[in-house]
Structure 1
Amino acid sequence: MGLPDLFARWFESRGWAPRPHQLALIDLARKGKGALLIAPTGGGKTLAGFLPSLIELTERRQAGEDLAYKKGQGELHTLYISPLKALATDIRRNLEQPMAEMQLPVRAESRTGDTPQSRRLRQRERPPDLLMTTPESLALLLSYLDAAKFFASLKCVIIDELHAFATSKRGHHLALCLSRLATLAPQARFVGLSATVADPPALAEFLNLRDEPVEIVVGEPGAPPVVSIIDAQERIPWGGHMGRHAVPEIYNIIRQHRTSIIFVNTRAQAELAFDALWRINDENLSIGLHHGSLAVEQRRKVEAAMAAGKLRAVVATSSLDLGIDWGDVDLVIQMGAPKGVSRLMQRIGRANHRLDEPSRAMIAPANRFEVLESLAALEAVEARELDGDPPRPPCLDVLAQHIVGTACAQPIDREAFFAEVRRAQPYRDLPRKDFDDTFDFVATGGYALAAYDRWHRLKQLPDGRWMLASPLVAKQFRMNVGTIVELPLMKVRLRRGPVLGEVEEGFVQGLVPGDTFVFAGRLLRFEGVKELAAICSPATGGDPKVPAYGGGRLPLSTFLANRVRGILQDPLKHPKLPAEVQEWLRIQVFRSMLPPADKLLVEGFPRGGKQFLVAYCFEGRNAHQTLGMLLTRRMERMGLRPLGFVATDYVLGLWGLRPASPKQIEELFDEDMLGDDLEAWMDESSMLRRSFRNVAVIAGLIERRFPGEEKSRRQVTFSSDLIYDTLRQHEPGHILLRATRQDAAWQLADLKRLGDLLRRAKGRIVYRRLDRISPLAVPVLLEIGRESVQGGTAEDELLDIAAQELIDEATRL
């Protein structure tokens, strides 16, 4: 049927024509069908999602058919869910213009953690037509007693940047909430929006809540992005992750463009890059800083300045990855390798929000391996190939939280609720025993904890349904809702000024008064701690430290790692590399060999009285760290007297006092290490305790915040360790311990990638015994001293090796 006249005239007034995918979503909405829309940035995805709702509401009201509207009452029609609070607010602001220009009788509002309480209460009493929110706010809305009434009129649910949710705990929580919405609002259709999708049918299943096929609508591809690698004048570092050698070139590039976003992979890198740019900012260009640890006021100020076109550049982490539309941005710079093609494409999409003009981006690799990774990413972008994470097993701690949230709103029929849970895509194959054990844990705490009333959160009614045991449970739930477990953070406050943001508590504990550090783009002097805040004053000199933030570096994707292997093995691609990287590879071939694509290269060599092993695994830092832990245990048993290991995204380096034989190398990498060795290591290490702490917080066993108080991080740790030891002793099969092991395997150890590596390597290890270090081994040895060793014979022994000595030794022919 196309666009109604009012909307068609508006498109014409803007000089636009509706795109086929926008018309397709209007047509599907008229048939009551959900959809997954995959369209590039600048293709009008968000407008496509909202157009059907705007049309339906306008037509109903023009025809006088909307009784609630005529009476001045509100009914929620469309719910928009965003991964970022800033994006929800940005979308509402962007919708206001067309609604005002067409004078539509439609009301749109946003609701996030930043929304004033008075407005939140008013929204529940008189809902807007369109509500923009986040998964956490949705979970809160579903927990209120009036949830069934509030959502009864809901006709459409739009999930933006759907790919960003698919494999995270946050995504599992959202999937459960969507299934609840499907029960409360049987007329609602579900629409997903995304620009970067590796597996469209799998992502479409996330929206399949009616057991009906979800239509996949693919928009026009648009102009291919123009991406290049920055050619820095300084020599490319052998190791390191900050990319500071390229700062002069980056500054000159900023000068030549209207507005640039410089994306980095860590918050510490953001602070360093911002500081380095300001030190050479002779023209006093307006440059901002944006990352998640900055105070909300700081972030909003930068966002407003970018939206108004007042900044020439902003240095940002993934806090600006998704969807925010700043039309003046004409260049994206990725500082450091991107670690994933989908992530790079997402970031590239922030430049030039116009479908018919190419987005422009540049990559500044931080070291030589990152040059290879950047070329691999470039080739994948040109081939329009994307990577994605594999499916994640159903998160039982998230399910526990959702059970409590549902019971806050109404009593639960256990059988009907089980069916509802299994409608959510991540929980389709959830075993009944896992569901029952999780439900029983929520109700009583489980066998080991049943004696304690505080963990009895549900009670059974005479009719068999389950309700909250106490109103206090609802208060606790609403204060602790969500799956993002904050790290121990401490506010940074100026002695005579505002709070600048937060840094990790451990970083502050390592400071003494007088120390200087870089934060929020300023050089600060630490004065002391007062009222749980680090008190600071502006500094003018000194040797500053940089705050460390958990979450660390992003892991290298398997897809990109495979492409890096391919580049190493294809001499025809080497001319695309800088001359010094080509020379690096040439000397490697002369001294040893390049890592084969289908085998595992392991090098052994002596240095400084130690024996080194370097394995070129290319499986990402998480998998390599776990492998290093397991290999040092085996080396100990073999009498090789391990001293330590260090892991990068590309390579694992180990060292000890005795060399390994070729036969021992084969035994070291045998895949049976994922059995008893893994079990023993996980039990001994602090990994499970850390994982249990997070699981216990999400599942509601331990509250981060309690009505009237907030627990200190130390209290949470003490409580979780005590409960962890109790459960291990008295109920080792407790559902939370099972969830903990699953969580550790998925998030911290990356066991699937490790298992795949060991299976690939079986019978295909190439062991090269060298007389000295090879060029490709230099970067990993430069990392020595940054990682701790578990289980070695001399844990405190660290090697302090001068970088230039290593390089000279490796390149001497």
Structure 2
Amino acid sequence: MTDGAPRILLPDQFEDWFASRGWQPRAHQLALVDAATREESSLLIAPTGAGKTLAGFLPSLIDLAKQKRQSNDTRPRLHTLYISPLKALAVDVHRNLNTPVEEMGLDIRIETRTGDTPQSRRQRQRANPPDILLTTPEQLALFIASDRASEFFEDLKCVIIDEIHAIAPTKRGDLLALGLATLKSWAPNLRLTGLSATVAAPDKLTHWLGGATTITAAGGADANIDLLISKERIPWSGHSGRFAIGEVYEEIKKARLALVFVNTRSQAELLFQELWQANDDSLPIALHHGSLDVEQRRKVEAAMAKGILRAVVCTSTLDLGIDWGDVDLVIQMGAPKGSSRLIQRIGRANHRLDEPSRALLVPTNRFEVLECRAAKEAADDRALDGSDRVKGGLDVLAQHVMGRACGEGFDMARLYEEIISVAPYAHIDWETFERVVDLVATGGYALRSYDRFKRIVKRKDGLWHARTPRDAQGHRLNVGTIIEAAMLKVKVLSRIKRDGQGRITSPAYGGKVLGEIEEGFIESLTPGDTFLFGGEVLAFEGIAETNVITTRSNDPEPAIPYYAGGKFPLSTFLADRVRKLLHNEAGWKHLPEQVAEWIRIQKLRSVIPPADKMLVETFPRAGRHYLVCYPFDGRLAHQTLGMLLTRRLERWGYRPLGFVGSEYAMAIWGLEPMGGLDMAKLFHQDMLGDDLEEWLDESFMMKRTFKQCAQIAGLILRHQPGTEKTGRQVTFSTDLIYDVLRSHEPDHILLQAAREEAGEGQLDIRRLGQLLERVKGHIVHADLERISPFAVPVMLEVGREPVAGVSASEAILAEAEEDLLMEAFGDDVPGG
């Protein structure tokens, strides 16, 4: 709708409802209605508080109200499917959407369906579908893998994908895109609506939607974003933020409700504990992350909505479009790793369009001060970043093929046309598709003699179906692309009963379940060890069945659980801004003085490289020789770089002993001086050839990537009818298959999938390739007599041996830090 154009009029019932609220329909809401009348798909980009969710549903509500008045057909049929990336968001939208429906007296039934929905309600929904169903990508995949799914969806008119920017460029997005293609084959006139507040590249999302009109909402106040300039000494490394707890607590006291975001679950546990120790005013402060029991999370969410909490320490479980009570402050502990993520999280504060949200960034180390400053400037400029991942995973495609076979069966030619109609799989050729189908049907050439890998068969009707009901059930129990580490339930008992051999007895018949914790962390503990979980200090008593048995403890120094997921990589976009900020000497005055002085001394003792160049420093220390580089490309890319460089240096005779990568730098140490190295040759892109292939073949990280792909593809099922594999069993099975395929079928489709995943995932090879391309001919080498100021943070990572997820003792680290600082700064240590 253009300026000056006559306003589209809504039906009287809807116009009256807006007027009763003292509102007028906004231009973008009307534009969506207009697009829907033309049966066009749409992408709505609207800031927080702009009525984005109501806009998405408004065309459906109008259409349903009209149908109910004009039709005598009372047969229940699904009209609109809403897809949310979070179960909690679907529940929140259900609550908010019911308000206009009830106030207008609309005869419209709205229901949710998530992993928490009871089986009885799911069965009722199949037999008697609501008008609008709110669900998740995984639940859609389960629908598609069920009998008579095409009948259930044949009347579907609209699919709304909320927070589309968070779903589309992921494996969940791959699975959803394939599911939407299936829905379009069953309901050809289906229109799609994508909703988001933070879209970096609208054209990519409209392409993902299969073509759509982009509607951008006007308005939205700029957020008030401040950096906490701590009066305390800012640490050189680490991510705990302990030094600033007192100042963070004072900010919480001033707020009605503060969301305190962290990037990992372990950091959430630690920060929550620290805040409780500082909580002299007994403020109601809660904890929320994905490993906590669902009942505990729901209690926290209900308390937020009622306004009885003052602060919630949380991870990404709360950073999408949920409207939780009267949030007026967002605190980001540590760097947000991306401007879009920061803007998304800021949007949780103050859901009013034309009033600014308030946010406070709390850097947890000195390099993070630079990153937080860059993120603030990007957010102030409304400059967004986003993933540029475009190709869908072959393991996800295999899962979808199995899902179609578990439902009504599929014809290969027709399914292939569906698959290449969606953006993530438009590049797939027929031969690759055949290999994927063969993977599902036989396991592939090297595995076809094993009966357990045969999961689908072609029947007399010419369609491919699940080979047995057990195969279909196994698929349904394992649907999804989020592969969590093996988890055990954490139970708290008041006292422990043991038998004559000291074994715990009857653990399943009592105690409170706090949530789930990773099996690998628990395996590192011995009875009597203590750890933090759910905001409590627990003593580990033992494992019984799938339960971790604990009692409460008062240990002042518990371990912090580590979690495989949740650590975000620094975005390429933000890394570039950090490099520019570092080189811009005029901007140093906006930094805390202890950080600005650190940079000035670095300039004096070594080099501040231009933004388009990479600094490499070499220096001796304590009988060893070090090489430190500063790409600012994230821990994953730096670790892979370190692995490949050490191989190259070993081949050249420099006897490297080890390496460590941080978010900002990478350090290698060895027995030979490295100052005379040809840096251009050392960092040449050819390391991504034979060096990479040889390393990948023997890398345990490659095996870990293969394990995830094998589970997503369904080759190995963690959850099986009547039983469940432990994490060790899954690892043993996938490692065995990996070795067999490497030896007998190195071009197996699942090895191909794992290599492609390595490029995007845990190894970040694609970003490493971009790094090497960027620094080609742009390396600045400083051969120093001693460690530089910039090297101090990454050198503090050297020798930190994690024990049960916890670094070496504070006393040892403090001593090492003091030695390093004296060498790097002499008497000029900035900030003490």
Q: TM-score, normalised by structure 2?
A: 0.94
- Partner Cα separation in structure 2 for residue 501 and residue 237 of structure 1: 32
Shift of 1:453: 2.2
| Structure 2 equivalent of residue 540 of structure 1 | 554
- Partner Cα separation in structure 2 for residue 60 and residue 542 of structure 1: 64
| Structure 1 equivalent of residue 718 of structure 2 | 704
| Structure 1 equivalent of residue 666 of structure 2 | 652
2:24 counterpart (9, 13, 17): 17
For the pair 1:521 / 2:521, whether they are aligned, the reply is no
**Aligned pairs for 1:162-561 within 5 A:** 162-208=164-210, 213-462=211-460, 464-496=462-494, 497-551=511-565, 553-561=567-575
Give the residue type in structure 1 aligned to 2:318.
L
Give the residue type in structure 2 aligned to 1:688.
M
Shift of 1:130: 0.3
- Partner Cα separation in structure 1 for residue 374 and residue 567 of structure 2: 19
**Aligned pairs for 1:715-754 within 5 A:** 715-754=729-768
Give the residue type in structure 1 aligned to 2:794.
V
After superposition, the Cα gap between the structure-2 partners of 1:462 and 1:16, relative to the gap in structure 1 and judged at 3 Å, is same
Shift of 1:28: 0.8
| Structure 2 equivalent of residue 793 of structure 1 | none
Give the residue type in structure 1 aligned to 2:822.
D
Shift of 1:799: 11
SS of corresponding position for 2:481? coil
- Partner Cα separation in structure 2 for residue 66 and residue 310 of structure 1: 47
Give the residue type in structure 1 aligned to 2:551.
S
| Structure 2 equivalent of residue 768 of structure 1 | 782
Shift of 1:411: 2.5
- Partner Cα separation in structure 2 for residue 546 and residue 453 of structure 1: 43
SS of corresponding position for 1:106? coil
| Structure 2 equivalent of residue 124 of structure 1 | 126
SS of corresponding position for 1:217? strand
Q: Structure 2: give runs of 5+ residues left out of the alignment.
A: 1-7, 495-510, 803-811
| Structure 2 equivalent of residue 81 of structure 1 | 83
Shift of 1:805: 1.4
- Partner Cα separation in structure 2 for residue 650 and residue 221 of structure 1: 36
| Structure 2 equivalent of residue 98 of structure 1 | 100
For the pair 1:42 / 2:56, whether they are aligned, the reply is no
Give the residue type in structure 2 aligned to 1:683.
D
Aligned residues: 795
SS of corresponding position for 2:616? strand
- Partner Cα separation in structure 1 for residue 539 and residue 449 of structure 2: 51
- Partner Cα separation in structure 1 for residue 363 and residue 608 of structure 2: 20
Shift of 1:164: 0.5
Give the residue type in structure 2 aligned to 1:143.
A
- Partner Cα separation in structure 2 for residue 511 and residue 755 of structure 1: 39
CA contact (8 A) 2:148 2:408 kept: no
Shift of 1:800: 10
- Partner Cα separation in structure 1 for residue 610 and residue 801 of structure 2: 27
Shift of 1:808: 2.0
- Partner Cα separation in structure 1 for residue 318 and residue 337 of structure 2: 17
CA contact (8 A) 1:785 1:800 kept: no
Shift of 1:463: 5.3
CA contact (8 A) 2:46 2:216 kept: yes
Give the residue type in structure 1 aligned to 2:520.
G
* Deviation by residue 1:278-330 (Cα, 9 ceiling, x = unmatched): 00101100001000111111111101100111100000000111111124000
Give the residue type in structure 1 aligned to 2:513.
V
After superposition, the Cα gap between the structure-2 partners of 1:66 and 1:686, relative to the gap in structure 1 and judged at 3 Å, is farther
After superposition, the Cα gap between the structure-2 partners of 1:787 and 1:18, relative to the gap in structure 1 and judged at 3 Å, is farther
- Partner Cα separation in structure 1 for residue 610 and residue 661 of structure 2: 19
The runs of at least 4 consecutive aligned structure 1 residues that moved more than 3 Å come to 461-464, 661-664, 798-801
* Deviation by residue 1:600-644 (Cα, 9 ceiling, x = unmatched): 110011111110111011111110000000111111112111111
Shift of 1:690: 0.9
| Structure 2 equivalent of residue 31 of structure 1 | 38
2:693 counterpart (672, 679, 686): 679
* Deviation by residue 1:664-718 (Cα, 9 ceiling, x = unmatched): 3332211110001011111111122111111111111111111111112222111
Shift of 1:16: 1.4
CA contact (8 A) 1:516 1:542 kept: no
After superposition, the Cα gap between the structure-2 partners of 1:217 and 1:525, relative to the gap in structure 1 and judged at 3 Å, is same
CA contact (8 A) 1:166 1:206 kept: yes
- Partner Cα separation in structure 2 for residue 397 and residue 607 of structure 1: 47
CA contact (8 A) 2:420 2:428 kept: yes
Give the residue type in structure 1 aligned to 2:468.
S
- Partner Cα separation in structure 2 for residue 661 and residue 312 of structure 1: 55
SS of corresponding position for 1:574? helix
| Structure 1 equivalent of residue 580 of structure 2 | 566
Shift of 1:348: 0.4
SS of corresponding position for 1:537? strand
* Deviation by residue 1:40-97 (Cα, 9 ceiling, x = unmatched): 111111100101111111112122x151x2xxx3100000000001111111111111
SS of corresponding position for 1:775? coil
- Partner Cα separation in structure 2 for residue 731 and residue 513 of structure 1: 45
Bigger Cα displacement from structure 2, 662-671 vs 379-388: 662-671
SS of corresponding position for 2:561? coil
CA contact (8 A) 1:595 1:616 kept: no
Bigger Cα displacement from structure 2, 662-671 vs 515-524: 662-671
Give the residue type in structure 2 aligned to 1:262.
V
SS of corresponding position for 1:802? helix
| Structure 2 equivalent of residue 53 of structure 1 | 60
Give the residue type in structure 2 aligned to 1:606.
P
Give the residue type in structure 1 aligned to 2:534.
A
After superposition, the Cα gap between the structure-2 partners of 1:57 and 1:587, relative to the gap in structure 1 and judged at 3 Å, is same
Give the residue type in structure 2 aligned to 1:115.
T
Q: Structure 1: give runs of 5+ residues left out of the alignment.
A: 789-797
| Structure 1 equivalent of residue 615 of structure 2 | 601
CA contact (8 A) 1:262 1:334 kept: yes
For the pair 1:586 / 2:600, whether they are aligned, the reply is yes
Give the residue type in structure 1 aligned to 2:137.
P
- Partner Cα separation in structure 1 for residue 798 and residue 219 of structure 2: 45
| Structure 1 equivalent of residue 638 of structure 2 | 624
For the pair 1:5 / 2:7, whether they are aligned, the reply is no
Give the residue type in structure 1 aligned to 2:530.
T
* Deviation by residue 1:8-45 (Cα, 9 ceiling, x = unmatched): 11111111111100000111111111100000111111
- Partner Cα separation in structure 2 for residue 310 and residue 297 of structure 1: 18
Shift of 1:581: 0.6
CA contact (8 A) 2:525 2:540 kept: yes
| Structure 2 equivalent of residue 791 of structure 1 | none
- Partner Cα separation in structure 2 for residue 739 and residue 441 of structure 1: 12
- Partner Cα separation in structure 2 for residue 726 and residue 777 of structure 1: 43
- Partner Cα separation in structure 2 for residue 617 and residue 541 of structure 1: 41
Shift of 1:801: 6.5
Shift of 1:661: 3.8
Give the residue type in structure 1 aligned to 2:168.
A
CA contact (8 A) 1:327 1:352 kept: no
SS of corresponding position for 1:338? coil
CA contact (8 A) 1:784 1:799 kept: no
* Deviation by residue 1:386-414 (Cα, 9 ceiling, x = unmatched): 00111242211111110111111222111
SS of corresponding position for 2:344? helix
After superposition, the Cα gap between the structure-2 partners of 1:469 and 1:530, relative to the gap in structure 1 and judged at 3 Å, is closer
SS of corresponding position for 2:485? coil
Equivalent pairs: percent with the same residue?
A: 57
* Deviation by residue 1:313-366 (Cα, 9 ceiling, x = unmatched): 000000111111124000100000110000001100000011011111010000
CA contact (8 A) 1:376 1:563 kept: yes
